[in-house]
Amino acid sequence: MLFSKRILVILDERPASRQALVRARLIAEQTGAALELIWNSEYAPWQGYEAELTELDNSGCRWQRQYDPSPLVKLVRQHWQRDHFGLLVKSCDARHTGPSLLAPTDWRLLRETPCPVLLVKNQRRWADGPILAAVNPLGNKANGQQHDQAVLMLATAIASQVHTPLHTVTATAMAMMGAEPELQSQALIDAAAEDALTRQLARWQLDPAHRHVGEGPPEHWIPAVANQISASLVVIGTHARGGLRGALMGNTAEQILDRLDTDIMVLRPGLSEALAPLLAG
């Protein structure tokens, strides 16, 4: 069952945080997962959440709550070590602008949380728009292929659960003069990506409703496609770079996060085996 383990929900006093709780409750109702609510703020816990907590009681969901004002990334790490949860849900912080050697909290969560992370940006129902899976079929490394598989597995499972179409999106590199002949023509680059994606989907027996292949960079192409098709959720992988490398190079998922107006679910590498049962049968 999708997200059959506990779902960890991070809450605070911001109005956007209530959206995360509503989304988590809807997921729990669909999947039967238990919710663990963590109030992570120095403000008075649960003030203004009376209606949402009453809805939780009436929903029949299994849930518990606690107060923990510890630094968020440390808190999440400790909870993971104590008892692995299947999904982390949190409202998305304000857009991050300008370079900084200190990564925003949301970026650090994407880099360090072992399970899928859902950052909530609105309360639109996932059933009201397609689920968009971002993949890179031209990646040559085996772990990159496995990462794409995990993204597609999770996106397919969610689309099936909420009865909405699955779309894929692939950003291709720009044509470069002086490069190998197949890299000098954008049409050839896109065709190669289409062919690789076709083989990838056939190997995993997947048939999305639509495939969007176009010239990147991905941090611009993927949000543009998500907006064009009114996607309700974007599922994407991250390389989870940290330290100085992360500060200098960043992660594509982080750049996309700031340009999206819809919910985004992010997976770190190494989850394909854990998610394999999602498509069983």
Q: What is the pLDDT of residues 143-158, one digit of tens each?
A: 668 888 889 989 999 9
pTM to 2 decimal places: 0.88
**Residue 236 near residue 119 (C-beta atoms within 8 A):** no
Stretches where the chain sits below pLDDT 50 are: 1, 177-178, 241-250, 272-274, 276, 278-281
- Give 142-156 as a DSSP string: HHHHHHHHHHHHHHH
Domain ranges in the chain with CATH number 3.40.50.620: 1-91
Cis amide leading into 71 (omega within 30): no
Q: Would you call 71 helix, strand, or coil by DSSP?
A: coil
1-91 CATH choice from 3.40.50.620, 3.40.50.20, 3.30.300.130, 2.160.10.10:
3.40.50.620
- Where does the chain hold its CATH 3.40.50.12370 domain(s)? 103-281
Q: Comparing C-alpha atoms, which of 77, 117, 80 is closest to residue 254?
A: 117
CA distance 157 to 2: 7
Second-level CATH architecture of 103-281: 3-Layer(aba) Sandwich (3.40)
- Please give the DSSP secondary-structure letter assigned to residue 68: -
